[in-house]
Chains A and B, each alone.
Chain A
Amino acid sequence: MLEIRNLHAAIDGNEILKGINLTVKKGEIHAIMGPNGSGKSTLAKVLAGHPQYEVTAGEVIYEGRNLLEMPPDERAREGVFMAFQYPIEVPGVSNAQFLRLAYNEKRKHLSEDELDPLEFKDLLKERAKVVEMDASFMTRSVNEGFSGGEKKRNEILQMAVLEPKLAILDETDSGLDIDALRVVAGGVNKLLTPDNAIIVVTHYQRLLNYIVPDFVHVLSNGRIAREGGKELALELEARGYDWLKTSTQSGTESLNAAN
């Protein structure tokens, strides 16, 4: 589904990603971990197409196409979704209006019929159950006045509506209390199918208790420093990221061990 080869990316001339290689197949959950500043969020934003990041080398192949040549909206319509670490407020536009517009843009792209407001209301009601969201959120402006947890739930609601092939969750656990974390993670798990894939970007192992990854990749200074199975996350939790810094020279030993 996704193949990242030797990806380099910079913001304002500072190189943040320094050669990322990553392959994601259908049905897989990948966790990207790493200390602050290691490039985790940059990777997520580059995949979503944030205009401030400049790809300086490498390529990203998504479903056989060059992802980097597609504008962000086309990536989305082709099934790439990023749940934002800090979801943006869109004053004056109701959640329902926004979601229907996004949903219908995708339907149009796939040459499917658009849903009218009533049909969409039914669909939305159904999907809102995934994240246990109250109907009152649908008439409120997108994310405006939402608590941190509500914003994150709203991100997963959008994911539930748009049904992406590849979902990238950027620090979706940050700012969530344990109950909200359970709801959000539960929602994500319900949306996982054998045909889609999820990349979970997170600083802490906590989220991975709920969304259990098949692979864990640890970023350090713009490169993947360690790779392994879910047990790698537990090891990081126990030993912290400092341990990583002292042992990066040893390359990809965990990957070899995991394989």
Chain B
Amino acid sequence: MVTELAKTENNYQAAFRVARESNSTVPWLELVRSSAMDRFEQLGFPTVHGEEWKYTNLAPVAKESFAPAIRPSASAIDASQFVYPETAGAHLVVVNGFLSEQLSDKSNLENVVAIDLLSAVADARYNKIARAYLARNAGYHDNGLAALNTAFLQSGLFLWIPKNVRVEAPIQVTFLTDASEPYVASFPRLLVVAEENSSATLIETFVSTSDQQYFTNSVAEIVLREGARLEHYRMQRESNEAFHTSITSAELGRSSSYDTTSINLGGRLSRHDISVVLDHEGAECWVDGLYLVGTDQHTDTHSVIDHQQPHCNSHQLYKGILDGNGRAVFNGKIYVREGAQKTDAMQTNKNLLLSPQARVDTKPQLEIYADDVKCAHGAAVGQIDQEELFYLETRGINPELGRSLLTYGFAEEVIGKIKIDSIRAQLDEIVLRQLNTNLE
């Protein structure tokens, strides 16, 4: 076991040397990458012995010889099928972690900067911003996955929304795995900086070209400056054979607003760590999500909402639907730090088990060090309500259809708040298809 692990990390070490040479960058980032690689060598992949990974076993990822992706040549992939119509002219495609100018369409993105991260750090106009915020919120010193991603930082997307710019149309970033070679490992990286009083909508989608086994280990860092507003959707639709780990770290400036919804559908094993730091007064966030897993799928969401300053609000609703022998983990921490008075924090996790073999481990946690706050949290795990089902049956709806309808209704609380029609329609379809039902 130990030797296998060491061997795998040596694979990453060898690949790291190749990556560093073929995609050289500015000295400070070279240093960051090297020290991240060193850190990964020390930390390795998380194991079930650590409290944060108790229920999610990454051993298959550590054991398997995934090969870090190299920059793909001009590709024949058709990415248009993954693009939501609302984002026409405002979508970026990142293939195996590398931004593809060829597949992206920025024709409707004049007011923002959406460029390769490595270009941004080399560009005098953006170097300062990138340097200030890259690897700041998704720290790699105590997190093996963040370290591995940072070590392989060779491209990715830098998205900068300048001061007072309000972007009406949603911007989509598609993280696509070209799995024509099996066992590819990608390390997508996203840095979003929304300057003062800017506003935008961002859609991240994770998809693949085939059902191969592959490994995606992504990091997104999001910075909202004073008064900025970001609506952020995250659609994880990896292949059902994929391993997906992902970190989203957001820091919220004064009176900023961050509204995010994470949808987790794909992956044999998926893990999402989302953290939101409210470190200026008057910030507000909505951190919602839906996970839907079936047989041989495992999904894990760990969230941290960190109230560091007074007068901040956070709202969190995560819902899970589990079928077959599907498994889910939800771990939600809310910290209210000393002095963060008038905090209003609310967290709910609800799970619907459709089969006796399904299992969920849910753990909402509150740690409060201030005395004038309003905090509530709760978790529920249940099955289809028999009285509700009977009601539907008395209207002529057969029990199978009734269960589907109630499950759809359960998901709708999260889906319904999504403001982009085509995402909502797609989710309705996915949920109902998964349930073998057609409402239309």
Contact = CB atoms under 8 A, between A and B. Distances in A.
Interface of A: 48-51, 71-73, 75-77, 81-82, 84, 87-93, 97-98, 101-102, 105-106, 109, 117, 141, 158, 162
Top 8 A-B pairs, shortest CB-CB distance:
A92-B412, A92-B409, A76-B396, A88-B391, A102-B395, A72-B393, A93-B409, A73-B393
B397 A92 contact: no
B429 to A, nearest CB: 14
Nearest to A84: B391
B209 interface: no
Contacts of A87: 391
A115 B166 CA distance: 43
A50 B398 CA distance: 14
Contacts of A92: 408-413, 416
Interface in B223-249: none
A162 B412 contact: no
A92 B439 CA distance: 13
A73 B416 contact: no
Nearest to A144: B409
19 contacts: A71-B393, A71-B399, A72-B390, A72-B394, A73-B398, A75-B394, A76-B395, A77-B396, A82-B394, A84-B391, A88-B387, A90-B392, A90-B409, A93-B405, A98-B405, A101-B405, A101-B439, A102-B395, A158-B395
A106 B396 CA distance: 6
B396 A93 contact: no
A92 B388 CA distance: 13
Interface in B347-396: 386-388, 390-396
B396 A102 contact: yes
B410 A49 contact: no
Nearest to B386: A51
B314 to A, nearest CB: 23
B406 interface: yes
Given A91-B409, A92-B408, A73 B391 contact: no
B401 A93 contact: no
B388 A88 contact: yes
Given A73-B397, A81-B394, A117-B440, 4 more contacts: A76-B395, A91-B409, A92-B410, A98-B392
B412 A93 contact: yes
Nearest to A106: B396
B394 A48 contact: yes
A195 B162 CA distance: 71
A91 B395 CA distance: 16
Given A49-B393, A51-B390, A72-B393, A91 B398 contact: no
A76 B393 contact: yes
Contacts of B409: 90-93, 141
B384 to A, nearest CB: 12
Contacts of B388: 88-90
A169 to B, nearest CB: 13
Contacts of B402: 73
A90 B396 contact: no
A91 B408 CA distance: 9
Most buried by A among B388, B390, B396, B412: B396
B288 to A, nearest CB: 14
B436 to A, nearest CB: 14
Nearest to A86: B387
A81 B408 CA distance: 24
B387 A101 contact: no
A72 B395 CA distance: 9
B396 A49 contact: no
Contacts of B391: 84, 87-88, 90
Nearest to A103: B396
B401 A101 contact: yes
A111 to B, nearest CB: 14
A197 B81 CA distance: 55
Interface string B393-432: 1111111011001101111110010000000000000000
B388 to A, nearest CB: 5
B405 A105 contact: no
B183 to A, nearest CB: 40
A165 B410 CA distance: 32
A92 B401 CA distance: 15
A46 B235 CA distance: 46
B437 to A, nearest CB: 9
A49 B394 CA distance: 8
A109 B390 contact: no
A117 B439 CA distance: 10
Nearest to A161: B395
Nearest to A77: B396
A73 B412 contact: no
A254 B395 CA distance: 36
B387 to A, nearest CB: 6
A71 B401 CA distance: 14
A102 B405 CA distance: 11
Nearest to A101: B397
B94 to A, nearest CB: 33
Contacts of A81: 394
Nearest to B399: A73
Contacts of A77: 396
Contacts of B410: 91-92
Contacts of A84: 391, 394
A16 to B, nearest CB: 17
Contacts of B413: 91-92
Contacts of A50: 390
Point out which of B395, B399, B401 has the most chain A C-beta atoms below 10 A from its C-beta. B395
A162 B387 contact: no
B432 to A, nearest CB: 11
Contacts of B395: 76, 98, 102, 158, 162
B406 A102 contact: no
B394 A76 contact: yes
B402 to A, nearest CB: 8
Nearest to B398: A73
Nearest to B402: A73
A106 B397 CA distance: 8
B407 to A, nearest CB: 9
Contact of A109 (B392, B396, B416, B439): B396
A161 to B, nearest CB: 9
